[in-house]
Amino acid sequence: MAKAANIKTLKIDGRDVSARQNETILEVARENGIFIPTLCTLKGLSNVGACRLCLVEVKGTARLQPACVTRVEEAMEVTTNSERLQGYRRAILELLFTERNHVCAVCVSNGHCELQSLAQKLEITHVHFAYRYPEAEVDASHERFIVDHNRCILCTRCVRVCEEIEGAHTWDVMGRGIDAKVITDLNEPWGSSQTCTGCGKCVHVCPTGALSEKGKSVAEMLKRRQFLPYLTQMREEDRS
């Protein structure tokens, strides 16, 4: 009896799917090959529900729910791709493009950027909000890595991987609203950070060209994420 209750069945986009209790809508959707756009979530890190791209409609709830943190429930009916949701997603991506200076043509991550590929996938051909063109810093003081705030979308994956996986907590966020930015230590140059172990995990979880390795030219920065599922799996096994 108790075991049976651990499995939930629900409908996503009209399809009947089953899920383990405690799974999120996003996890179940991915298992079933249903695409939901995301930027802030990354398997192996905690979820913050910040990018708002994964919002879905759940029947019976007035508010849209972030799929990355919403747990499945028995008989739930989820819609992941209505016209309304598509409109919101495009608007959110557009807002990201206006916020900093995302110039793909000269970016180290051109062609390997999650922001760019999502925009292509959602068929964003132009941005109808005004660009902000802020002056953003580039910190190249670290011997192997660079942080380019022009490309940062504040997904905070670097902050989370550094705290949760590496255990260094070199990265954090300072400032509020449009002035928020990721910082190393107490907003000191990355190169002189006392806490950075130089592991490079932050660079490889970064979805855009904000964090990159030195010496990479346009389109050369490939990110390798394999370590993350591997590490989390090892830890889980260790725990059980």
Partner 1 sequence: MSPEELDQIAETERQAQLGFKHRVNVCVAAGCVSCQSEGVKQAIEKDVARRGMGADCEVKGVGCMGLCAQGPLVSTSAGVLYQKVAIEDAPAVVESLLAGPDPRLLCKTDVPFFQAQKKIVLENCGVIDPERIEDYIAAGGYTALMRALGELTAAQVIEEVTKSGLRGRGGAGYPTGLKWSTVSKAVGERKYVICNADEGDPGAFMDRSVLESDPHRVLEGMLIAAYAVGASEGYIYVRAEYPLAIKRLRIAIRHAERFGLLGNYISASRLSFHVDLRLGAGAFVCGEETALISSIEGKRGSPRPRPPYPAQEGLFGEPTLINNVETFANIAPIIRNGGEWYAQIGTEKSKGTKVFALAGSVTNTGLVEVPMGVTLRQIVYEMGGGPPEGRQFKAVQTGGPSGGCIPADFLDMPVDYENLAKVGSIMGSGGMIVMDETSCMVDVAKFFMDFCASESCGKCVPCRVGTYHMHRILDAITERTATAQDLAQLQELCDLLKNTSLCGLGQSAPNPVLSTLRYFESEYQAHIEQHVCPAGVCGKLEEALHG
| Residue 46 tokens, joined | 């905690």
Print the binding letters for residues 66-85 with partner 1: x by CB under 8 A, - otherwise: x--x----------------
Judged by beta carbon distances under 5 to 8 A according to partner kind, the member of ligand FES, partner 1, none in contact with residue 133 is none
The answer to whether residue 88 forms part of the interface with partner 1 (CB under 8 A) is yes
11 with 78: CB under 8 angstroms? Answer: yes
What is the C-alpha end-to-end distance of the chain, expressed in Å? 23
Q: Order of strands across the sheet with 55-58? A: 15-20, 7-12, 77-79, 55-58, 65-66
The smaller minimum CB distance to ligand FES, of residues 168 and 228, is found at: 228
Identity of the residue, 38 or 116, whose beta carbon is nearer to ligand FES in the bound complex: 38
From 49, 111, 191, 200, residue interacting with partner 1 (rule: CB under 8 A): 49
- Shortest distance, position 187 Cβ to ligand FES, whole Å: 25
| Under rule CB under 8 A, residue 221 binds partner 1 | no
Measured distance CA(71)–CA(10) in Å, rounded: 11
The residues in 133-172 that bind partner 1, with binding defined as CB under 8 A, are: 153-154, 156, 172
- Of 43, 86, 44, 33, residue with least CA distance to 64: 86
Report the C-alpha gap between 232 and 228 in whole angstroms.
6
Among 12, 65, 66, 166, binds ligand FES (CB under 6 A): 66
Interaction of residue 49 with ligand FES, rule CB under 6 A = yes
Q: Which one of partner 1, ligand FES, none is in contact with 88 (Cβ closer than 5 to 8 A by kind)?
A: partner 1
The answer to the question of residue 180 lying near partner 1 (CB under 8 A) is: yes
Q: How buried is 5 (Cβ within 10 angstroms: 0-12 exposed, 13-18 middle, 19+ buried)? A: exposed
Of 52 and 225, CB closest to partner 1:
52
Q: Which is nearer to ligand FES, 69 or 127 (CB)?
A: 69
Binding residues (CB under 8 A) for partner 1: these are 48-52, 55, 63-64, 66, 69, 88, 91-92, 95-96, 98-99, 128-130, 132, 153-154, 156, 172-173, 175-180
Binding residues (CB under 6 A) for ligand FES: these are 38-41, 49-54, 66, 68
